[in-house]
């Protein structure tokens, strides 16, 4: 006997997101759909379809949206992975000049063409794993001029890959040599009008951590975002509990990302806000980090998204199916919850509303 294709259907069409306590309202069952120009047209067959594909025995789901990657970057930090496995912490590596600084040196040494070629190859591999839209961040510049170059390269990458892309200016990733954290935020403040002509990104991002920036810098980044009409995202609570979630929610951040060490008492606040919780189980697994309270966030009704955190050091993983597997196993999520988090809700996280685009669709414009 032949099995029909299983089609994932949204709870209601036209939703911008679905809170995770409602994930079970999505439906996966036998069905069919019609597509035109790379987009899902309807969840039924079309009588004038030119091509019919029998997907019996397959699951038909929207293209995956990877809403948190660090593309484009140069090289890899595989030696650091060996050190971390042997017990050296990321903070120790970062303080010794490794981590982001090491990737910044590689970024500075590589030509534009080398960086774009590496990122294009990665994007092709991502497409083979079902990712049809992705976000990329700057942050390996560590100087105003190099961040400007990173924004330009991000824009160039968008024109070279099959996926829809958006770029985020992660201008506060690590504190550059010759600055303290306050002075670097001052420098960003002064340079931002010029930097925004290079990309231009629609979002600013900051890494709040013991080895990077603090909640006061998050507040300043929020003020800069508001002044320039940009959205705010933040890497928070990855290695330590800094209580950055209430600050980011108060600033109206579009997302808070990582959350492995978020305080339990902040879960209701985040779950009732419009700030998405972007969870990165690949980084948690490879870094032997704590596991984010994803089950509790989902039960409380947070807007949860999943992403790869694809980067050359702490999360060299680009496969969203792998991320789904980690989320299901380590978070105790249902497969529907994981699928919701890397399709509809991940699209919200970056306004990547082309999330329903199917593999092979080309970027419009
Ligand atoms: Zn990241």
Global model pTM greater than 0.75: yes
CA of residue 282 to ligand 1 center, whole Å: 11
Same domain, 85 and 36: no
Does residue 21 share a domain with residue 48? Answer: yes
Give the Å distance between the CA of 258 and the centre of ligand 1: 8
Assess whether 10 and 151 both reside in one domain. Answer: no
Mean pLDDT (whole number) for 292-320: 97
Give me ligand 1 centre to Cα 234, in Å.
9
The lowest-confidence range among 44-53, 241-250, 280-289 is 44-53
Q: Please tell me the distance between residue 261's alpha carbon and the centre of ligand 1 in angstroms.
A: 15
Same domain, yes or no: 54 and 68: no
Instruction: Return the HEC string of the chain.
Output: CCCCCEEEECCCCCCCCCCHHHHHHCEEEECCCEEECCEEEECCCCCCCCCCCCCCCCEECCCEEECCECCCCCCCCHHHHHHHHCCCCHHHHHHCCCCHHHHHHHHHHCCHHHHHHHHHHHHHHHHHCCEEEEEEECCCCCCHHHHHHHHHHHHHHHHHCCCEEEEEEEEECCCCCCCCHHHHHHHHHHHHHHHCCCCCCCEEEEEECCCCECHHHHHHHHHHHHHCCCEEEEEECCCCCCCHHHHHHHCCCCEEEECCCCCHHHHHHHHCCCCEEEECHHHHHHCCCCCCCHHHHHHCCCCEEECCCECCCCCCCCCHHHHHHHHHHHHCCCHHHHHHHCCHHHHHHCCCCCCCCCCCCCCCC
Residues 8 and 151 in one domain: no
Distance 70 CA to ligand 1 centre (A): 6
Q: Which domain holds residue 12?
A: 2-62+357-362
Q: How far is the CA of 303 from the centre of ligand 1 (A)?
A: 18
pLDDT digits (tens, 9 = 90+) for 191-239: 999 999 887 788 999 999 988 999 999 999 999 999 999 999 999 999 9
Q: Cβ(59)–Cβ(8) under 8 Å?
A: yes
| Residues 12, 106 within the same domain | no
**Number of compact structural domains in the chain:** 2
Cα(123) to centroid(ligand 1), Å: 17
The answer to whether residues 123 and 37 belong to one domain is: no
Task: Specify whether 109 is located in the same domain as 173.
Answer: yes
Structure confidence at residue 351 (pLDDT): 54
How far is ligand 1, taken at its centre, from the CA of residue 307, in Å?
A: 9
- pLDDT category of residue 190 using cuts at 50, 70 and 90: very high
Instruction: Flag whether pLDDT at 365 surpasses 50.
Output: no
- Give residue 14's pLDDT: 79
* pLDDT tens column, 45-78: 888 889 999 999 888 888 999 999 999 999 999 9
Q: Is the pLDDT of residue 27 over 90?
A: no
Confidence of residue 10 (pLDDT cuts 50, 70, 90): confident
**Residue 358 Cα to ligand 1 middle (Å):** 25
- pLDDT per residue over 265-280, tens digit each? 999 999 999 999 999 9
């Amino acid at each position: 006997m032949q099995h029909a294709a299983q089609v994932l259907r949204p709870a209601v069409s036209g939703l911008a997101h679905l809170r995770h306590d409602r994930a079970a309202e999505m439906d996966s069952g036998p069905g069919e759909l019609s597509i035109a120009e790379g987009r899902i047209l309807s969840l039924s067959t079309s009588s004038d379809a030119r091509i019919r594909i029998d997907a019996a025995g397959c699951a038909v789901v929207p293209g995956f949206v990877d809403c948190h990657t660090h593309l484009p970057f140069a090289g890899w930090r595989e030696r650091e992975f060996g050190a971390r496995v042997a017990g050296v912490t990321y903070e120790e590596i970062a303080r010794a000049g490794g981590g982001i600084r090491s990737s910044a040196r590689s970024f500075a040494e590589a030509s534009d063409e080398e960086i774009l070629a590496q990122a294009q190859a990665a994007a092709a591999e991502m497409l083979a794993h079902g990712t049809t839209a992705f976000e990329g961040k700057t942050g390996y510049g560590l100087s105003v001029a190099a961040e400007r170059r990173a924004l330009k390269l991000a824009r160039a990458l968008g024109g070279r890959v099959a996926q829809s892309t958006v770029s985020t200016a992660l201008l506060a990733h690590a504190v550059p040599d010759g600055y303290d954290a306050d002075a670097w935020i001052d420098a960003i403040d002064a340079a931002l009008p010029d930097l925004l002509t290079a990309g231009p990104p629609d979002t600013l991002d900051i890494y709040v951590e013991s080895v990077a920036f603090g909640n006061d810098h998050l507040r300043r980044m929020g003020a800069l975002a508001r002044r320039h009409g940009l959205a705010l995202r933040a890497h928070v609570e990855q290695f330590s509990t800094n209580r950055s979630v209430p600050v980011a929610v108060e600033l109206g951040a579009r997302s808070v990302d990582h959350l492995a060490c978020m305080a339990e008492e902040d879960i209701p606040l985040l779950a009732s806000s419009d700030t998405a919780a972007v969870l990165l189980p690949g980084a948690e697994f490879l870094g032997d980090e704590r596991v984010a309270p994803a089950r509790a966030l989902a039960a409380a009704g947070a807007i949860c998204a999943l992403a790869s955190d694809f980067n050359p050091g702490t999360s060299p993983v680009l496969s969203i199916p792998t991320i789904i597997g980690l989320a299901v196993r380590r978070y105790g999520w249902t497969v529907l919850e994981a699928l919701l988090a890397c399709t509809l809700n991940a699209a919200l996280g970056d306004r990547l509303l082309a999330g329903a685009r199917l593999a092979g669709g080309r970027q419009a414009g």
